[in-house]
């Protein structure tokens, strides 16, 4: 098997590494920094937007672990490690929690070779797979070893759907949900141009120029991803408005281009 680092293309920007760069991480290349700088020139609020998307993941993961008792999680398109990671959030609530991270970016997978600082009571693993091939995820030995499908699972699909084009987008989410038992939850964020269409549209064009086609969705389309599920209050809303915690910073709606929601699988 090839080392994941050997598959890394340092001549083209990658969404996970651009995200890492804009969030202030260190796991990127000059091409990613150049792409990130270009996107921020188009929309200076992009770092605010990305941070709030990350904070939604923190709150949703904590909510599922703390209030709903979820003890196993499947994080699709996990991206590069940025502390606190999902396992740190949920194991902080329940140390026995198990988390599977899924990604197919070689830079992300190179990090998977290093020991993860999870709790000794719980478990954390990576699966090298693309969301567009759900069978590879659900058929993985690690999926079968770590997840007990007699117990509910928290499916996290954060900050990735804007890179999945119709008509394969909604069927992919349904195929990931299908093997999960009743009582599971879907936490998801979905990119939109509803609040700053010109600026976000320019960012989408920049992603396209960088060979990372992006799809933006309106509220009705974002909500349709949760058809057949029971939305948790406050439903589908901008990520910074989903159950904000104490000390939540004031954020201009025009600076957020992501809807988010958590929903229950009956």
Query: Pick from 246, 250, 209: which is nearest to 42 by CA?
Result: 209
How large is the angle between the packed helices 46-66 and 86-93, nearest 10 degrees? Answer: 30
Q: Identify whether 73 is part of a domain.
A: yes
Burial 249-264 (b: 16+ CB within 10 A, else e): eebeeebbbbbbbbbb
Spans in the chain with pLDDT lower than 50:
1-6
If one counts the domains in the chain, the total is: 1
Model pLDDT, residue 2 = 43
Phi-psi region of 77 (alpha: psi -120 to 50; beta: other; left: phi over 0): left
Q: Identify whether 2 is part of a domain.
A: no
Burial class (CB in 10 A: 0-12, 13-18, 19+), 74: buried
Cα–Cα distance for residue pair 187/61, rounded to 1 Å: 8
Query: Pick from 54, 114, 112, 49: which is nearest to 256 by CA?
Result: 49
Q: Identify whether 16 is part of a domain.
A: yes
Host domain of residue 94: 9-264
H/E stretch holding 106 = helix 106-112
Cα–Cα distance for residue pair 191/159, rounded to 1 Å: 7
Q: Identify whether 136 is part of a domain.
A: yes
- Pairing of β 185-191 and β 258-264: antiparallel
- Contact criterion met (CB below 8 Å) for 76 and 155: yes
Model pLDDT, residue 112 = 58
Q: Identify whether 83 is part of a domain.
A: yes
Omega before 40 cis (within 30°)?
Answer: no
Q: How far is CA 215 from CA 69, 80, 166, 193, 257, in A?
A: 34, 22, 9, 9, 12
Q: Identify whether 3 is part of a domain.
A: no
Model-level pTM? Answer: 0.90
The CATH number of whichever domain residue 40 belongs to comes to: 3.40.50.150
Q: What tens digit of pLDDT does each residue of 35-91 get?
A: 889 889 989 999 999 999 999 999 999 999 999 999 999 999 877 777 789 999 999
Model pLDDT, residue 4 = 44
């Amino acid at each position: 098997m090839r080392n994941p680092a050997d598959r890394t293309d340092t001549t083209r920007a990658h969404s996970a590494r651009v995200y890492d760069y804009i969030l202030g991480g260190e796991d990127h290349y000059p091409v990613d920094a150049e792409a990130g700088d270009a996107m921020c020139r188009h929309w200076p609020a992009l770092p605010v937007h990305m941070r709030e998307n990350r904070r939604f993941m923190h709150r949703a993961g904590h909510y599922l672990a703390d209030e709903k008792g979820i003890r196993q999680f499947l994080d699709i398109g996990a991206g590069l490690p940025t502390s606190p990671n999902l396992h740190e959030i949920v194991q902080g609530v329940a140390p026995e929690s198990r988390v599977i991270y899924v990604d197919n970016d070689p830079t992300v997978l190179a990090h998977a070779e290093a020991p993860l600082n999870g709790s000794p009571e719980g478990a954390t693993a990576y699966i090298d797979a693309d969301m567009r091939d759900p069978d590879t995820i659900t058929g993985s030995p690690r999926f079968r070893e770590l997840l007990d499908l007699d117990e509910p699972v928290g499916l996290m699909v954060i900050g990735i759907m804007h890179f999945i084009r119709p008509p394969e987008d909604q069927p992919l989410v349904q195929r990931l949900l299908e093997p999960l038992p009743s009582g599971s939850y879907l936490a998801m964020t979905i990119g939109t141009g509803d609040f700053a269409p010109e600026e976000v549209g320019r960012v989408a064009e920049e992603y396209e120029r960088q060979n990372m086609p992006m799809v933006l969705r309106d509220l009705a389309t974002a909500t349709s991803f949760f058809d057949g599920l029971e939305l948790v209050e406050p439903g589908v809303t901008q990520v910074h408005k989903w159950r904000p915690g104490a000390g939540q910073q004031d954020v201009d709606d025009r600076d957020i281009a992501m809807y988010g929601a958590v929903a229950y699988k009956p």
